[in-house]
């Protein structure tokens, strides 16, 4: 099944409303933002991270204008060493290519072994934006509906305060 269709079908099954903007492939958050300029919704970046031994994986969602303090993050999640996961790990765990990471990739994580985190600064926003498993579309979804989606596919999430 086409990556976006899988996301669309699941959201419709859950009765979750969303809007989609189609655009040329976006390979950076700056590019993606330029295609949706003027539309309401916090611009997010989703980072797929792992520990040194690749025994634990993390999906961190934060405002795309923020820079991650990796030392602070690893302290909050109580890990020794954390780094960006490889493209191979991303393909294995979420069946996604680089540049399309989002909470919707969790649909492909049958092991349910990815820990999900949101930065506190964005959870009060009414609408969040993501690539729906393709970088040729941006989806606008209400934050509370996104949380409902995550729980409906049997994941938990935590909210962190990132500097």
Convert the pLDDT of each residue in 71-108 to its tens digit.
Answer: 999 999 999 899 999 999 999 999 999 889 999 999 99
Segments forming the whole domain that contains residue 137? 3-160
85 token code pair? 């996961």
Convert the pLDDT of each residue in 100-131 to its tens digit.
Answer: 999 999 999 999 999 999 999 999 999 999 99
Q: What is the pTM of this model?
A: 0.95
Q: Which of 59, 63, 57 is nearest to 143 (CA)?
A: 63
- Alpha carbon distances (Å) from 160 to 61, 62, 75, 96, 118: 10, 10, 11, 25, 6
In the block, residue with structure tokens 């729980």 = 151
CATH code where residue 118 lies: 3.90.960.10
Q: What length is written for the chain?
A: 163
- Alpha helices for 66-107 (secondary structure H): 70-76, 87-94
Give the separation between CA 150 and CA 37, rounded to whole angstroms.
27
Number of domains, the chain: 1
């Amino acid at each position: 099944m086409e990556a976006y269709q899988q996301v669309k079908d699941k959201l419709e099954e859950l009765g979750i409303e969303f809007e989609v903007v189609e655009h040329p492939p976006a390979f950076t958050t700056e590019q993606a933002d330029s295609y949706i300029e003027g539309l309401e919704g916090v611009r997010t970046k989703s980072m797929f991270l792992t520990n040194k031994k690749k025994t634990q994986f993390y999906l961190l969602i934060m405002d795309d204008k923020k820079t991650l303090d990796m030392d602070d993050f690893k302290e909050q999640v109580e890990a020794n060493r954390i780094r960006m996961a490889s493209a191979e790990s991303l393909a294995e765990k979420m069946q996604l290519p680089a540049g399309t990471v989002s909470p919707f990739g969790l649909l492909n994580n049958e092991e349910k072994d990815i820990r999900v985190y949101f930065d506190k600064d964005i959870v009060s926003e009414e609408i969040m934006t993501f690539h729906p498993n393709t970088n040729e579309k941006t989806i606008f979804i209400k934050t509370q509906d996104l949380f409902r989606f995550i729980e409906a596919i049997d994941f938990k999430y935590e909210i962190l305060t990132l500097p």
